[in-house]
Structure 1
Amino acid sequence: MTDLVIHAGDFTFDAKFEADAPNTVAAFRAAMPFVSQIVHVRWSGEGVWIPLGEHDFGVGYENHTCYPAPGQIILYPGSISETEILLAYGGVNFASEVGQLAGNHFITLTSGLENLATLGRATLWKGAHDIRFELK
């Protein structure tokens, strides 16, 4: 099942919302289409992220993990570190300058996984890339 389409850099991915994170999904859906830029993570490993500063989605922890798998997208709702969205393209141990974090797994890519590493490396070596989340 495809709920949304994500355009990131030169790639397009189909994705689904995770039923185990209903509050996060509802808050994010209300913000769509969501347009930003991704940059490479600093501490977490093989991932790209959208730093959101003090943005408050109004959600707490649900379906949270420190170790998202490639193709999983998590939202850190903020508190001890800034609010952010992270897309794992390889091994991730989610952390920040203040230490270990956990984010709400609320989206999973359903197509285009073969392009994730290319997107991640391009973001690492070439800098920020545009990203757009839109409902299908």
Structure 2
Amino acid sequence: MNATVSIGTSTFRASIASPRASASWDALARLLPYAGTVLHARWSGEAIWSPLRTIWPAASLLPRENAVGEPRPGQILLYAGQDSEPELLLAYGQTRFASGFGPLLGNPVLTIVDRLDELASVGRSILENGAGTLRIELNSNS
């Protein structure tokens, strides 16, 4: 199964990183199609993030599933733990997932599979110019 990730006017193909039956994938699938804001992740290095607090079920936490703190470029993590607000983190370069409270671990849910150089340019643009838009949807032929 594949997804499309759009950041501003740039569109990327993504593959599902976790088995469909996982709690993280199920939680993300309930949010799709997702449309939100993306900001630069000031604590995490070369990454952007999308806050989910307005749409995430209150007091709903996710268990750690293959959780990582240093995602590879193109990896998209879903976090809904006790130490920060629910969010999607999209790594575009060297990233150490963190919040103001310290290091975090997020569950990989999607991986962007093409044009990582363009993804890095988009990430740097958000750093320099401010917030952008994010849209994630399943491909209809998936």
The TM-score, its normalising length taken from structure 1, stands at 0.92
Match of 2:44 in 1: 44
CA–CA separation in structure 1 for the residues paired with 2:52 and 2:81: 9
Pick which of 14-23 and 97-106 moved more. Answer: 14-23
Q: Is 1:133 the equivalent of 2:140?
A: no
CA–CA separation in structure 1 for the residues paired with 2:45 and 2:19: 25
Match of 2:32 in 1: 32
Structure 2 gap ranges (5+) = none
Structure 1 gap ranges (5+) = none
Q: Give the CA deviation at 1:113.
A: 1.3
CA–CA separation in structure 2 for the residues paired with 1:29 and 1:52: 13
Q: Give the CA deviation at 1:18.
A: 1.5
Q: Give the CA deviation at 1:58.
A: 4.9
Pairs within 5 Å for 1:9-28: 9-20=8-19, 22-28=22-28
The TM-score, its normalising length taken from structure 2, stands at 0.88
Identity %, equivalent residues: 39
Q: For 1:85, which of 85, 88, 91 is the aligned residue?
A: 88
CA–CA separation in structure 2 for the residues paired with 1:79 and 1:62: 15
Q: Give the CA deviation at 1:84.
A: 1.1
Pairs within 5 Å for 1:38-117: 38-53=38-53, 55-56=56-57, 58-117=61-120
CA–CA separation in structure 2 for the residues paired with 1:10 and 1:62: 31
Root-mean-square deviation over aligned CA pairs = 1.6
> After TM superposition, where is structure 1 displaced by more than 4 Å over at least 4 residues in a row?
none
* Partner SS, residue 64 of structure 1: coil
Q: Would you say how many aligned residue pairs link Structure 1 and Structure 2?
A: 135
Q: Give the CA deviation at 1:53.
A: 3.0
